[in-house]
């Protein structure tokens, strides 16, 4: 545990100049440089529920509003609710006769006639309800009826402003679609007109559009231009309902008042009473992959299966960079006397490693390094733009490229963290070793090896 608890004893400098412990850094094997959390970008790989471990596509995630349909959170303590079973006696539905009642009816027909009583038939069924194993809250507290199936459709609470929010959502979706169509139309006008002659590289000699015209079909689906859906604006009103008299005179029982966490968990209603808290659908979790901003290669990529904790790509710095620890440091003296400093360097790889201890660069040297990094980033950006322009020109010459079809396929410029000077100053003179030294490869069984002394038999 000392590897995780003593994080700030030795800090490593990232390319951007930020200092972090080794456990919070990544190593890009393509750039051969350390990367911190600001030098990598996150990408969402999959959405899943952490309780039922169900993988949900991104399109369905938007429809579900980033929540699971089958799992619920406790409205009191925000833990996951469990489905519990109970035995309940319910009246038998009309027209549904059990085998026992049919046998009784046959026996009554065979015997003497008697006047039947108005008894109501009762049937024992297994019913299910929601319960929290942490705070002992259950769905009976707020009057939610039990369900006959464990995965039943639990009733959803009705909110007073649900209709207004649905209208607002529909309005802004139409606004976004209208703006998107205007941008696409403007982009089509700026694009050069295509030649009306068929492409010579086409095997059939006719393009798809000419074939459609010869067959009497249209060139494609005619996309109607949408207009934003009008909506009634919200107007502030001076008429405000008065506070009830009970609120000013009656005593306050804090056990029946919801906390701030409970109200924020239900933003649609924000009930003030505990008796009006309803279970909420559980939020979905995500699996992210980290990508280097410099070379766009993956640094961390996990498995797609939600129940797996393994990584496909795990370029943690602790797996590739030697771990440096301060073992002993004598008290520092300002009279010019030498002080011994003992370091422990651990090689985490399976190969031998040559280590050279050098002095820290000066401020001028650091500025030169920062200028070189900026020049390299500028060169990579210009190379990407030239490549995209070349693809567009080849598409206009005959072959259709992805960038000529849509701007979304064009490679976007990477946002790289601005390099800065390392915020550390040297206030002493170090006497470094004269030469490099080699650190042996990692041996996992070394710490478990014991010195076994040979057994000597007693002399006869």
> Which residue has 């943690």 as its token pair?
316
CA distance 166 to 172: 10
- Based on its alpha-carbon atoms, the radius of gyration of the chain, rounded to whole angstroms, reads 36
Which distant-in-sequence residues (6+ apart) come within 8 Å of 316 by Cβ? Answer: 23, 25, 26, 27, 300
Residue 342 has φ and ψ, to the nearest 5°, of -110, 125
Using CA atoms, how far apart are residues 137 and 71, in angstroms rounded to an integer? 15
pLDDT in tens, 36-89: 888 899 899 999 999 999 899 888 888 888 999 889 999 999 999 999 988 888
d(CA 23, CA 39): 15
Q: Is residue 300 part of a domain?
A: no
Q: Is 304 in a helix, a strand, or coil? A: coil
d(CA 316, CA 299): 8
CA angle in degrees (0–180, nearest 5) for 111-112-115:
120
**What is the 8-class DSSP label of residue 353?**
E
Is 158 inside a domain boundary?
yes
Residue with tokens 């604006």: 233
CA 217 to mean position of chain CA atoms:
45
Is the distance from CB of 283 to CB of 67 less than 8 angstroms? yes
- Give phi and psi for 364, each to the nearest 5: -65, -40
Please indicate, yes or no, if residue 301 is contained in any of the structural domains: no
CA distance 3 to 23: 8
Question: Model-level pTM greater than 0.95?
Answer: no
Q: 80 lies in a domain? A: yes
pLDDT at 8: 55
Cross-sheet strand order for the sheet of 311-314: 55-56, 40-48, 285-292, 298-302, 311-314
User: Which stretches of the chain drop beneath a pLDDT of 70?
Assistant: 1-8, 93-120, 192-225, 380-416, 446-460
Contact 142, 256 (CB under 8 A): no
Q: Does a structural domain hold residue 4?
A: no
- Decide if 141 is inside a domain: yes
In this prediction, residue 97 carries a pLDDT of: 52
Count how many Cα atoms sit within 13 Å of the Cα of residue 305 in the half-sphere of its side chain. Answer: 6
Across 49-133, where does the E strand assignment appear? Answer: 55-56, 67-73, 82-91, 122-131
What is the rounded end-to-end Cα distance, in angstroms, of the chain? 51
DSSP-derived secondary structure for 354-373:
EE---PPP-HHHHHHHHHHH
Return the structure tokens found at 394.
Answer: 């080849």
In the chain, how many domains are there? 1
* The pairing of beta strand 55-56 with beta strand 311-314: unpaired
- 418: CB partners within 8 A, 6+ apart: 16
What pLDDT sits at residue 14? 87
Give the Cα separation of 122 and 140 in Å (integer): 22
Q: Is residue 358, in this structure, part of any structural domain at all?
A: no
- Residue 271 covered by a domain: yes
DSSP-assigned letter for residue 323: E
Answer for the pair 90, 123: CB distance below 8 angstroms, yes or no. Answer: yes
Angle at 183 between CA 180 and CA 185, to 5 degrees: 110
Q: How many CA within 13 A on the CB side of residue 37?
A: 6
Domain span including residue 130: 67-88+126-166+258-283
């Amino acid at each position: 545990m000392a590897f995780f608890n003593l994080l700030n004893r030795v800090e490593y400098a990232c390319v951007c100049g930020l200092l972090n412990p080794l456990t919070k850094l990544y190593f890009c094997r393509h750039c051969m440089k350390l990367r911190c959390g600001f030098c990598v970008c996150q990408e969402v790989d999959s959405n899943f529920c952490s309780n039922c471990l169900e993988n949900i596509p991104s399109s369905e995630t938007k429809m579900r509003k980033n929540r699971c349909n089958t799992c619920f959170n406790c409205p009191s303590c925000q833990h996951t609710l469990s489905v519990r079973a109970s035995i309940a006696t319910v009246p038998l539905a009309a027209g549904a006769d059990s085998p026992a009642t049919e046998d009784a009816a046959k026996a009554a027909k065979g015997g003497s006639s008697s006047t039947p009583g108005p008894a109501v038939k009762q049937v024992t069924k297994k019913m299910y309800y929601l319960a929290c194993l942490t705070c002992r809250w259950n769905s009976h507290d707020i009057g939610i009826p039990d369900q006959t199936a464990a995965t039943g459709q639990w009733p959803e609470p009705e909110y007073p402003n649900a209709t207004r929010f649905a209208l607002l959502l529909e309005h802004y979706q139409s606004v976004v679609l209208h703006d998107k169509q205007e941008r696409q139309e403007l982009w089509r006008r700026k694009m050069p007109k295509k030649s009306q002659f068929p492409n010579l590289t086409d095997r059939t000699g006719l393009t798809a559009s000419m074939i459609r015209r010869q067959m009497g079909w249209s060139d494609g689906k005619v996309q109607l231009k949408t207009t934003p859906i009008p909506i009634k604006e919200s107007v502030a009103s001076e008429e405000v309902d008065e506070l009830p008299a009970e609120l000013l005179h009656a005593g306050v029982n804090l056990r029946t008042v919801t906390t701030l966490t409970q109200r924020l968990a239900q933003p649609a209603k924000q009930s003030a009473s505990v008796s009006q808290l309803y279970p909420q659908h559980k939020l979905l979790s995500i699996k992210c992959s980290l990508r280097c901003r410099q070379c766009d290669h993956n640094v961390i990529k996990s498995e797609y299966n939600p129940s797996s904790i393994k990584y496909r790509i795990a370029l943690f710095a602790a797996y590739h960079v030697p771990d440096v620890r301060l073992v002993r440091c004598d008290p520092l003296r300002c009279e010019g006397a030498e002080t011994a400093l003992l370091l422990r360097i651990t090689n985490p790889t399976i190969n031998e490693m040559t280590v050279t201890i050098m002095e820290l660069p000066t401020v001028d040297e650091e500025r030169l390094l920062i200028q070189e990094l900026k020049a390299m980033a500028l060169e990579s950006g210009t190379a990407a733009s030239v490549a995209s322009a070349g693809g567009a020109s080849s598409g206009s010459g005959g072959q259709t490229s992805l960038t000529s079809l849509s701007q979304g396929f064009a490679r976007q410029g990477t946002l790289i963290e601005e390099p800065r000077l390392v915020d550390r100053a040297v206030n002493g003179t170090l006497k470094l070793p004269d030469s490099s030294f080699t650190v042996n490869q990692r041996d996992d069984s070394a710490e478990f090896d014991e010195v076994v002394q040979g057994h000597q038999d007693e002399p006869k």
